[in-house]
Amino acid sequence: MPRRKQKYNEKQATNPQRFAWKQKSRHKTFASADAKRNKLKEEGEEHVKVRRCGPEGTQFKVVVGNSLEKKTPKNKKGKKKEKKDESK
Tens-of-pLDDT digits for all 88 residues of the chain? 566 666 777 777 888 889 999 999 999 999 999 999 999 999 999 999 999 999 999 999 999 999 888 666 666 665 555 555 555 5
Distance of alpha carbon 69 from alpha carbon 51, whole angstroms: 24
Per-residue model confidence (pLDDT) at position 15: 82
Which amino acid would we find at residue 30? F
Per-residue model confidence (pLDDT) at position 13: 83
Per-residue model confidence (pLDDT) at position 79: 57
Per-residue model confidence (pLDDT) at position 68: 86
Which amino acid would we find at residue 29? T
Please return the burial class of 33, using the count of CB atoms within 10 Å of its CB with bins 0-12, 13-18 and 19+: buried
Residue 56 · residue 75 · CB < 8 Å: no
